[in-house]
């Protein structure tokens, strides 16, 4: 990776530094004799600029050597670290680091935090560091995979026709994260271009064959090819042994003449060979599907020509190997995507609060991540009780769908809490103060939000709220009628500070249910927001007796698209 800054890893370091509140955070990658720092915040010059140091100054090398997290409260008394120059030169007194690994589990570097005084790292801080380390590892693996893929693509540029095929294949493989669909498309793309027909098989790390597909360039043979794949998947011993043979040799297998009699002796059931002869069995080429990280062979691509097409040469062999590499990249990306998305969702949920239990007030919340992409987002909700017994309610949406948006979201939510707690100001002035804080602190945030205060008032409740560019609150009355609280729109937070923001007042009778939500629930690029509001209005009309949790599910089911996150806060008063 080299001694140069990387914007993504710098953002991760900043996120760690802000969430854990530590003076310094680093993303490290260890070389043979140097430690590189592609991501950092809080390091002094010239180290912050050079982005590298000798291993003698590295505290992270102990994490790499041990292959597990390392937590040190005071490096000055730790036998492994007390003599390290970084302890004295950088003032690295407290240290906590987690390993960054490739897809094989090899440790490549660390995500670490440091403090300039002794510190007992909390369990929640270490858990957050571990979750962010997983995201950092995923990003590192993707970088390695892209570099390897770029190198392979450059090697293929000498052959225009083959490069065209490989380019189309790359688009085909990246068009979906469903690996079964991707490998099926691979076969259909290759059949007729590089061979008469093609079989693709994928094995799990345990050796179990998990995918077999077949495609023929002649539509008349589509059903026999499909039957061949079904037979091979139902009797995986032959596929497993073929994958194992390629794994042992780590080379493609090329036969200029196929011998059906020899194949019948090795392949069961015999119907597989019969179908192969019928659709064309003259010569074949077996290329490995190679995962880029670790160079693991995870499957095979079998190219077959009938007698009329001729045999495979060295050029076809090179292209087949490259196809296997790109298929391996798709396999790894699919697995990394699933893991990264899971980690991102866990991180997002970890930033959302537990709702308080309040007599007479029932609170339910849901967060629904977008179905596309693997990034965390900026949607949030919050509810907390003031010292005077009133309840603050908030839902907001920071623009963006990345780690930076999630970090900003956490800061905005904490600013709302810190500024509002213990104060009896109305929501309008509180949002105006939040706007001033965002500008004064230099936070690059553009956000919408609804902030409300709920107070007991006689036999009912008084609710005051302010709205900064956010979809309107919706109230389900005890009689089943629905109110949409449209008000004159006011600008988003973080744009142009406003000295004043409006506060609106409503009366809630017992049995009322208030809904605050983000735009992912109601917006669709092809429609006005009014259409989304109409959908939720019709869905909940007359449903005042529905349990609150079921009401949340009903509301989420009204969303017509899933390319945006949804945060939902439902408040029922008794």
Q: Is residue 228 domain-shared with residue 131, that is, in the same domain?
A: no
- Could you give the strand order of the β-sheet that contains 94-101, starting from the edge strand earlier in sequence? 52-54, 34-41, 24-30, 107-115, 94-101, 70-72
- State how far Cα 407 lies from the chain centre: 15
Residue 516 lies inside a defined structural domain of this protein: yes
Say if CB 418 and CB 434 are below 8 A apart: no
In this predicted structure, what is the pLDDT of residue 374? 47
Same domain, yes or no: 67 and 182: no
pLDDT for 158 equals 40
Output DSSP code: residue 352.
S
pLDDT tens for residues 510-526?
999 999 999 989 988 77
Q: Is residue 49 part of a domain?
A: yes
Same domain, 127 and 233: no
Higher-confidence residue of 156 and 173: namely 173
Q: What is the pLDDT of residues 526-535, one digit of tens each?
A: 788 899 999 9
Return the pLDDT at 386. 96
Domain boundary among 339, 361, 379: 339
User: Do 317 and 171 belong to one domain?
Assistant: yes
Final residue before a domain boundary, out of 147, 175, 199: 147
Q: Which domain holds residue 382?
A: 352-573
Under DSSP, the state recorded for 44 is P
Domain-embedded: residue 81 = yes
Q: What is the CATH number of the domain that holds 68?
A: 3.30.450.40
* CA angle, 553 then 368 then 505, to 5°: 70
Q: Does one domain contain both 94 and 173?
A: no
470: exposed, middle or buried (Cβ count in 10 Å: 0-12, 13-18, 19+): buried
Q: Is the pLDDT of residue 256 over 50?
A: yes
Identify the pLDDT of residue 499.
83
Are residues 399 and 316 part of one domain?
no
428 vs 143, higher pLDDT = 428
Tell whether the model's pLDDT for residue 359 goes beyond 90: yes
275 and 242, same structural domain?
A: yes
Co-location of 202 and 88 in the same domain: no
* 17-40 confidence digits (pLDDT tens): 999 999 999 999 998 888 999 999
Domain count, the chain: 3
Residues across the chain:
574
Q: What is the mean pLDDT of residues 348-371?
A: 82
Q: Given this model, what pLDDT does residue 370 score?
A: 72
Q: Is residue 346 part of a domain?
A: no
* Separation of alpha carbons 425 and 431, rounded Å: 10
101-160 per-position pLDDT tens digit: 988 888 999 999 999 999 999 999 999 999 999 999 998 888 888 877 766 665 555 445
Q: What is the pLDDT of residues 382-399, one digit of tens each?
A: 999 999 999 999 999 988
Q: What CA–CA distance (Å, rounded) separates 211 from 201?
A: 5
Most confident of 226-230, 400-404, 481-485: 481-485
Residue 1 lies in a domain: no
Share of the chain above pLDDT 70, in %: 89
In a domain, 296, yes or no: yes
Shared domain check, 320 and 197: yes
Which of 113, 147, 181 is a domain's end point? 147
Lowest mean pLDDT among 274-278, 380-384, 385-389, 556-560: 556-560
Q: Residue 343: what pLDDT?
A: 56
Furthest-apart CA atoms within the chain: distance in Å: 92
Q: How many Å apart are CA 539 and CA 548, to the nearest integer?
A: 14
434 with 365, same domain? yes
Task: Tell me if 345 is assigned to some domain.
Answer: no
Residue 2 lies in a domain: no
Grade residue 170 by pLDDT with cuts at 50, 70 and 90: confident
Residues 13 and 104 both lie in one domain: yes
**Judgement on whether residues 163 and 142 belong to the same structural domain of the protein:** no
């Amino acid at each position: 990776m080299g001694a140069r800054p990387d914007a993504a890893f710098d953002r991760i370091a900043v996120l760690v530094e802000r969430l854990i509140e530590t003076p310094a955070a680093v993303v490290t990658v260890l070389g043979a004799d140097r430690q590189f720092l592609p991501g950092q915040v809080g390091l002094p010059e010239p180290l912050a600029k050079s982005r590298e140091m000798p291993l003698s100054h590295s505290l992270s090398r102990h994490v790499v050597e041990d292959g597990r997290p390392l937590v040190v409260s005071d490096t000055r008394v730790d036998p492994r670290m007390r003599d390290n120059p970084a302890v004295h030169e950088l003032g690295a007194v407290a240290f906590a680091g987690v390993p960054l690994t490739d897809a094989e589990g090899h440790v490549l570097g660390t995500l670490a935090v440091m403090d300039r005084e002794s510190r007992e790292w909390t369990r929640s801080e270490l858990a957050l560091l571990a979750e962010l380390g997983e995201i950092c590892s995923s990003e590192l693996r993707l970088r390695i995979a892209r570099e390897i893929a770029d190198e392979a693509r450059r090697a293929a540029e000498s052959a225009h026709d083959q490069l065209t095929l490989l380019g189309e294949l790359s688009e085909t493989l990246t068009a979906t994260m469903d690996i079964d669909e991707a490998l099926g498309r691979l076969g259909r793309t290759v059949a007729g271009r590089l061979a008469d027909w093609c079989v693709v098989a994928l094995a799990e790390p345990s050796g179990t064959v998990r995918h077999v597909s077949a495609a023929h360039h002649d539509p008349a043979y589509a059903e026999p090819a499909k039957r061949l794949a079904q037979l091979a998947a139902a009797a995986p011993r032959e596929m497993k042994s073929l994958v194992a043979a390629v794994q042992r040799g780590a080379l493609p297998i090329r036969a200029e003449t196929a011998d059906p009699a020899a194949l019948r002796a090795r392949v069961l059931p015999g119907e597989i060979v019969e179908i192969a002869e019928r659709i064309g069995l003259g010569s074949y080429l077996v290329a490995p599907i190679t995962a880029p990280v670790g160079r693991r062979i995870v499957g095979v691509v079998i190219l077959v020509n009938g007698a009329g097409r001729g045999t495979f040469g060295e050029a076809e062999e090179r292209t087949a190997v490259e196809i296997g590499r790109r298929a391996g990249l798709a396999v790894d990306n699919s697995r990394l995507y699933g893991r990264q998305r899971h980690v991102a969702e866990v991180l997002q949920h970890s930033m959302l609060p537990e709702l308080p239990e309040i007599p007479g007030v029932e609170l339910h919340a849901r967060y629904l991540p977008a179905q596309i992409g693997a990034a965390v987002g900026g949607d949030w909700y919050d509810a907390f009780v003031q010292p005077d017994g009133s309840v603050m309610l908030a839902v907001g949406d920071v623009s963006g769908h990345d780690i930076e948006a999630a970090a900003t979201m956490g800061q905005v939510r904490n600013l709302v809490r810190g500024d509002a707690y213990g104060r009896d100001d109305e929501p309008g002035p509180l949002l105006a103060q939040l706007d001033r804080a965002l500008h004064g602190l230099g936070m690059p945030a553009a956000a919408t939000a609804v902030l409300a205060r709920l107070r007991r008032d006689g036999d009912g409740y008084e609710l005051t709220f302010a709205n900064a560019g956010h979809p309107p609150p919706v109230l389900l009355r005890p009689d089943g009628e629905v109110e949409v609280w449209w008000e004159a729109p006011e600008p988003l937070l973080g744009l142009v500070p406003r000295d004043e923001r409006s506060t609106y007042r409503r009366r809630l009778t017992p049995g009322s249910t208030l809904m605050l939500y983000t735009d992912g629930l109601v917006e669709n690029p092809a429609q006005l927001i009014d259409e989304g509001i109409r959908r939720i209005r019709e869905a909940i009309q007359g449903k005042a007796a529905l349990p609150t949790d079921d009401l949340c599910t009903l509301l989420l089911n009204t969303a017509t698209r899933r390319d945006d996150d949804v945060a939902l806060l439902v408040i029922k008063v008794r």
